[in-house]
């Protein structure tokens, strides 16, 4: 199934509960996260002043788009859900991306899209276009693609497809420079705030002079924003190098979208995200609700949960038959 | 550590998705070097020792 605009940016895609919402041609797709503020300018101020109110909002908008009536696209969704333009009682899961479908590439996800605005733009002497805006409620996540939307399961997913793991140390993320490591208290000092929490795991590279050499280390304490302790006993301190996060301990938001499902005698399809320390042995992290509908989406979250360095997925069909499923899996580390 | 001494709390698979230990099964097929971090992460637990039969009934 095509996932990007036919003539638009090849890397852009947008799914809502298993429907492909990207038009064949469009001017722009915008995913915007905003910290809401209130103007607090007062008499006597010489500069305009705003103050954060502590809320964050998100919106996803497709501008100036040509939509058609292909199966599984936006007009098909409107036909399938009478009143789709009105607020929905059942939230719809939104996922999309700007970098195409690359394993480990970034995607955005949100729960939930309760309504969308479909604004027809028509004028004399011009083709008819539309703006499509999604009303996002709740958290907006950025994560990594664990299974490409081009994934097709015609049996339980094992072998090569399942073995396509994502290493968190190689996905785009902030690289933090290290100042030094200390033999007193096993403390690492960074030049900028590291953003780590206890039980995170970091991959340290190019750190010189320490004994033992530092590599994959577990964070045991976070005294300040630019220092953290590790479990490894440092006998001689070192300098320099960088770190990236390998495993994270703040939980996750996992996303599943499936654009086609034929059970062929089976009773359901269970998609699972698996995680690993060594990229060899995996444990199940989260399983989505067994999929039975032709198309759909689901978001599952957990707080204060360790997500290990490597991620992979599996699909297990329950029962017997000849199934087929097109799906996407992504996971955001919180 | 021996896999037979541990029970899977979460399903354990190899990279290719083949099941090494389903939930509730013992972990004989799980590589020994993975048992430590699986135990630490709560994916497996120590199996209850089998109760010895009372003397005279063996």
Contact criterion met (CB below 8 Å) for A96 and A29: yes
Q: Is A314 on the interface with B (CB under 8 A)?
A: yes
Look up tokens 């590589």; give the residue. Answer: B31
Does any domain span residue A5?
no
**pLDDT score, position A49:** 92
**DSSP H or E segment with residue A111:** strand A106-121
Q: What is the mean pLDDT of residues A70-81?
A: 65
Look up tokens 């036909």; give the residue. Answer: A79
Q: The domain that contains A239 carries what CATH number?
A: 2.40.30.180
On the question of a cis peptide bond just before residue A244, with omega within 30 degrees of 0, the verdict is: no
Query: DSSP assignment of A194-214, as one string?
Result: ----TT-EEEEES-BS-BSPP
Q: What is the mean pLDDT of residues A135-144?
A: 82
User: In this prediction, what percent of chain A has a pLDDT beyond 70?
Assistant: 83
* A77 plus A90 within the same structural domain: yes
User: In this prediction, what percent of chain A has a pLDDT beyond 90?
Assistant: 36
Which has more pLDDT, A128 or A1?
Answer: A128
* pLDDT tier for residue A242 given thresholds of 50, 70 and 90: very high
CA atoms of A14 and A133, how far apart (whole Å): 12
Q: Which of residues A247, A266, A296 is at a domain's end? A: A247
**pLDDT score, position A46:** 93
For the cut 80, the answer to whether the pLDDT of residue A122 exceeds it is no
Contact criterion met (CB below 8 Å) for A240 and A206: yes
Q: Which of residues A247, A276, A300 is at a domain's end? A: A247
* A266 plus A141 within the same structural domain: no
Q: Is B39 on the interface with A (CB under 8 A)?
A: no
CA closest to A162 among chain B residues: B16
Q: The domain that contains A326 carries what CATH number?
A: 2.60.40
Spatial CA neighbour of A27 closest among A114, A126, A150 = A126
- The torsion angles phi and psi of A80, rounded to 5 degrees, stand at -75, -30
| Inter-chain touch A282–B16, beta carbons under 8 Å | no
* A231 plus A101 within the same structural domain: no
Mean pLDDT of chain B: 87
**pLDDT score, position A56:** 79
CA atoms of A314 and B12, how far apart (whole Å): 12
- Helix, strand, coil content of chain A in percent (nearest 5): 5, 55, 40
* A238: closest CA of chain B, how far (Å): 27
pLDDT tens figures, A163-194:
689 999 888 788 999 988 888 888 999 999 99
**3-class DSSP assignment, residue A94:** strand
Biggest distance spanned by C-alpha atoms of chain B: 49
Which has more pLDDT, A137 or A145?
Answer: A145
For the cut 60, the answer to whether the pLDDT of residue B5 exceeds it is yes
Chain B residues within an 8 Å CB radius of A217? none
For the cut 70, the answer to whether the pLDDT of residue A120 exceeds it is yes
For testing contact with chain B, the best of A156, A162, A282 (most B CBs within 10 A): A282
CA closest to A283 among chain B residues: B12
Region label for A138, one of left (φ > 0), alpha (ψ between -120 and 50) or beta (otherwise): left
For the cut 80, the answer to whether the pLDDT of residue A137 exceeds it is no
pLDDT tens figures, A186-222:
899 999 999 999 989 999 999 998 899 999 999 999 9
pLDDT tens figures, A272-299:
999 999 999 999 999 999 999 988 889 9
pLDDT tens figures, B17-33:
889 999 999 999 999 99
Does any domain span residue A60?
yes
* pLDDT tier for residue A5 given thresholds of 50, 70 and 90: very low
Contact criterion met (CB below 8 Å) for B41 and A308: yes
Q: Which two tokens stand for residue A39?
A: 């103007």
Least confident of A98-102, A193-197, A231-235: A98-102
| Inter-chain touch B14–A281, beta carbons under 8 Å | yes
Q: What is the mean pLDDT of residues A108-124?
A: 75
Select from A274, A306, A314 the Cβ nearest to the Cβ of B41. Answer: A306
| Inter-chain touch A314–B34, beta carbons under 8 Å | no
* A119 plus A156 within the same structural domain: no
CA closest to B37 among chain A residues: A277
Structural domain containing residue A261: 148-169+250-333
- The torsion angles phi and psi of B32, rounded to 5 degrees, stand at -60, -35
| Inter-chain touch A280–B43, beta carbons under 8 Å | no
Chain B residues within an 8 Å CB radius of A277? 34, 37
**pLDDT score, position A89:** 63
Mean pLDDT of chain A: 83
Spatial CA neighbour of B38 closest among B50, B26, B49 = B26
Query: Chain B window 8-37: which residues touch A at a Cβ cutoff of 8 Å?
Result: 10-18, 20, 30-31, 33-34, 37
Q: Which two tokens stand for residue B30?
A: 């799980």
* pLDDT tier for residue A100 given thresholds of 50, 70 and 90: confident
CA atoms of B14 and B16, how far apart (whole Å): 5
**pLDDT score, position A153:** 66
Spatial CA neighbour of A130 closest among A67, A59, A61, A60 = A67
For the cut 80, the answer to whether the pLDDT of residue A130 exceeds it is no
Chain A residues within an 8 Å CB radius of B34? 277-278, 280-281
CB pairs under 8 A between A and B: 63
* pLDDT tier for residue A81 given thresholds of 50, 70 and 90: low
Query: DSSP assignment of A132-184, as one string?
Result: EEEEE-S-EEEEEEEEEEEEEESSS--THHHH--EETTTSS---EEEEEEETT
* A227 plus A89 within the same structural domain: no
Q: Which two tokens stand for residue A206?
A: 């190019």
Does any domain span residue A188?
yes
Determine how many CB atoms are found less than 10 A away from the CB of residue A218.
17
Contact criterion met (CB below 8 Å) for B7 and B45: yes
Chain A residues within an 8 Å CB radius of B17? 156-159, 161-163, 274, 282, 312, 314
**pLDDT score, position A77:** 65
Q: Which of residues A247, A280, A301 is at a domain's end? A: A247
* A101 plus A160 within the same structural domain: no
Query: Chain A window 248-287: which residues touch B at a Cβ cutoff of 8 Å?
Result: 272, 274, 276-285
Does any domain span residue A8?
no
**pLDDT score, position A94:** 85
| Inter-chain touch B16–A158, beta carbons under 8 Å | yes
Q: What is the mean pLDDT of residues A37-66?
A: 85
Does any domain span residue A4?
no
* pLDDT tier for residue A329 given thresholds of 50, 70 and 90: very high
Q: Locate the domains of chain B by residue range.
A: 3-46
Does any domain span residue A47?
no
CA atoms of A288 and B38, how far apart (whole Å): 22
Q: How many domains does chain A have?
A: 3
Q: What is the mean pLDDT of residues A296-309?
A: 92
Contact criterion met (CB below 8 Å) for B15 and A282: yes
Which has more pLDDT, A116 or A235?
Answer: A235
Contact criterion met (CB below 8 Å) for A316 and B21: no
């Amino acid at each position: 199934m095509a996932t990007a605009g036919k003539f638009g940016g090849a890397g852009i895609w947008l799914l809502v509960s298993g429907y492909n919402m990207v038009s064949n041609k469009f001017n722009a797709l915008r995913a915007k996260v905003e910290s809401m503020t209130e103007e607090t300018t007062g008499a006597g101020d010489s500069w305009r002043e705003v103050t954060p109110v502590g809320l964050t909002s998100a919106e996803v908008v497709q501008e100036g788009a040509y939509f058609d009536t292909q199966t599984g696209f936006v007009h098909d969704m409107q036909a399938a859900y009478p009143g789709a333009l009105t607020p929905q009682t059942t939230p719809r899961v939104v996922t999309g991306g700007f970098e195409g479908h690359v394993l480990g590439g970034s995607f955005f996800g949100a729960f939930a899209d309760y309504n969308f605005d479909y604004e027809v733009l028509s004028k004399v002497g011009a083709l008819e276009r539309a703006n499509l805006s999604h009303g996002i409620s709740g958290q907006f996540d950025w994560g990594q693609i664990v299974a490409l939307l081009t994934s097709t399961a015609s049996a339980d997913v094992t072998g090569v497809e399942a073995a396509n793991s994502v290493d968190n140390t190689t996905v785009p993320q902030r690289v933090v420079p290290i100042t030094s490591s200390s033999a007193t208290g096993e403390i690492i000092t960074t030049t900028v705030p590291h953003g780590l929490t206890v039980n995170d795991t970091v991959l340290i590279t190019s750190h010189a002079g320490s004994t033992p050499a530092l590599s994959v280390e577990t964070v045991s304490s976070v005294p300040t924003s630019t220092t953290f302790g590790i479990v490894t006993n440092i006998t001689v301190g070192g300098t320099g190098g960088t770190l990236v996060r390998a495993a994270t301990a703040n939980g996750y938001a996992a996303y599943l979208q499936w654009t086609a499902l034929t059970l062929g005698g089976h009773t359901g399809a269970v998609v699972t995200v698996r995680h690993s320390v060594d990229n060899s042995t995996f444990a199940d992290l989260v399983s989505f609700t067994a999929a039975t509908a032709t198309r759909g989406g689901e978001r599952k979250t957990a707080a204060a949960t360790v997500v290990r360095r490597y991620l992979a997925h599996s699909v297990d069909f329950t029962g017997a038959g000849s199934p087929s499923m097109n799906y996407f899996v992504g996971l955001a580390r919180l | 550590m021996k896999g037979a001494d541990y029970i899977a709390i979460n399903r354990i698979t190899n990279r290719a998705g083949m099941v090494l230990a389903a939930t509730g099964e013992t972990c004989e097929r799980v590589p020994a070097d993975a048992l430590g971090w699986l135990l630490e992460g709560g994916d497996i637990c120590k199996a209850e020792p089998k109760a010895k039969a009372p003397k005279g009934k063996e």
